[in-house]
Amino acid sequence: MIKNVALIFPNKFKGGISSLAMQILHYHLNSYNDIKCDMYFIENYNDIKNKDAIIITLQYENDYFNVINIINNLKPKNPNAIFIGGGPCAMGAPFPLSNYFDAFVVGEIEGTNIMHNLINREPVETGVFYPNLNDFDTVKRIYPKSFNIEDYPLSQFTHPSGAYGEAFLLELGRGCPRRCKFCMAKSIYCPPRFKKIDDLKYIAEEGLKHTPVNKIALISPSVGDYKHIVDLCHHIKDINNDISISPSSLRADTISEELLKILNLKTLTIAPEAGSERLREYIKKDISEDDIFNALNIAKDNRIDKVKLYYMVGFPTETKEDIEEIINLSNDIKKDFRKVEVSINPFIPKPKTEFENEPFDLESKNTIKYIEKSLKKSNIKVSYENFNSMIVQCVLCRGDSDLGEIMEQYNKPVQFLKYLKKNNMLGDYLK
């Protein structure tokens, strides 16, 4: 019997179509002869009915409100479906959603039959958190020690509205070899694993045959840490010199003349995270000011005239001097570049990280506004997320199943936050 499965990205199409998780899951599930899987997004999930399984990827905590609405809307129309959650939030702290899912996959599915077993309601002992049966802390995470070519989707769905535009997503590896204390990806995808260079060359070649696009997006927490990155980029250009290459992220200390030349970037994007050397050392970012300016000098030599900088504020041990260093560093960079943009957001203590028990700094909002006002004098544009949504994200990282009931009743982040404040509950989640 064919099992009909719905795979849902619980937000807008433009975000979901650029999600590598969606591409991999869709390919993986349809590789079984007895499974038919279709993709859905917030715009069309209401069309789902009479499915045997509904799988929702949990990439961002703030999507939990959408997730609860989706599940409540779909349960009556899919009375026999098993509801399965997965993704980084399921691996970190899925507790606010534990009353809504039958099972959470804790880990990565390549090289396993875990999804097939769950869809067929067969018992799975490793890598699955059943909210009504076992304890999350006892679940052993599953992960592929290496990646096989057969597990990777060569024919991908693309759309101009996606984060990378119409691009083939090429994952270099998973996990990160760096030490950042605040990074959840480092923890939940450890140990870091990169694909073999020959496999990546093959995937790039075949991917461009099956996904006719003019861009390849390189996906990895730190693209420049892949030791064969320049070789891979040259190979992609040898396939078709008109193909553009877009890295998901670059660390300042991995930028070289050869790499920037072949990437042909219009904007250099780097993440100092903190302004001062002292604080970067404390959070184990392992990037010095020399690394930053060396990368910037290479960018200038390659005629890049725009720089985007990512910072966080509210780190443990942060001082006023650290904040001033964000302003000073940004201003120094602006002297040499036509356009400098700064993205700055509050530090959120994520589960499974070294900082998971640190407090959330409510003063971060004033700090961000101060930095924005200071940098405006230098014509530096500052962007940031809605601060209340950042508070909600922190709460959901630390919440239990009781929060699910509150979210169901107050199903907008602002309403949810007002309820927590009114009932003097907010402080419990932030300290």
Mean pLDDT, rounded, for 118-130: 96
% the chain with pLDDT above 90: 98
% the chain with pLDDT above 70: 100
Kind of pairing between the strands at 267-273 and 306-313: parallel
Residue 100: inside a domain: yes
In the structure, what pLDDT confidence band is assigned to residue 204 with cuts at 50, 70 and 90?
A: very high
Residue 303: inside a domain: no
Which helix (H) or strand (E) covers residue 128, if one does? strand 128-129
pLDDT of residue 181: 97
pLDDT of residue 167: 97
Q: Is 138 left (phi over 0), alpha (psi -120 to 50) or beta?
A: alpha
Query: 74: domain CATH number?
Result: 3.40.50.2300
Average pLDDT, the chain: 97
Residue type at position 43: E
Residue 202: inside a domain: no
* Cβ within 8 Å of residue 17, ≥6 positions away: 41, 157, 158, 159, 161, 162
Residue 67: inside a domain: yes
pLDDT of residue 307: 97
Residue 37 burial by Cβ neighbours in a 10 Å radius (0-12, 13-18, 19+): buried
> Over 90: is that where the pLDDT of 192 sits?
yes
pLDDT of residue 280: 98
Residue 106: inside a domain: yes
Residue type at position 94: P
CA dihedral 256, 261, 266, 271 (to 10 degrees): -10
Residue 79: inside a domain: yes
pLDDT in tens, 256-301: 999 999 999 999 999 999 999 999 999 999 999 999 999 999 999 9
Residue 281: inside a domain: no
pLDDT of residue 16: 97
Mean pLDDT, rounded, for 9-30: 97
Alpha helices in 53-100 (DSSP H): 64-74, 88-92
CA dihedral 239, 241, 242, 246 (to 10 degrees): 80
pLDDT in tens, 378-391: 999 999 999 999 99
> Over 90: is that where the pLDDT of 249 sits?
no
Residue 16: inside a domain: yes
Mean pLDDT, rounded, for 75-91: 98
> Over 90: is that where the pLDDT of 411 sits?
yes
> Over 90: is that where the pLDDT of 82 sits?
yes
pLDDT of residue 6: 98
Mean pLDDT, rounded, for 24-40: 98
Counted domains in the chain: 1
Give the DSSP letter of residue 341: E
Its domain, for residue 112, covers 3-138
Cβ proximity of 318 and 279 under 8 Å:
yes
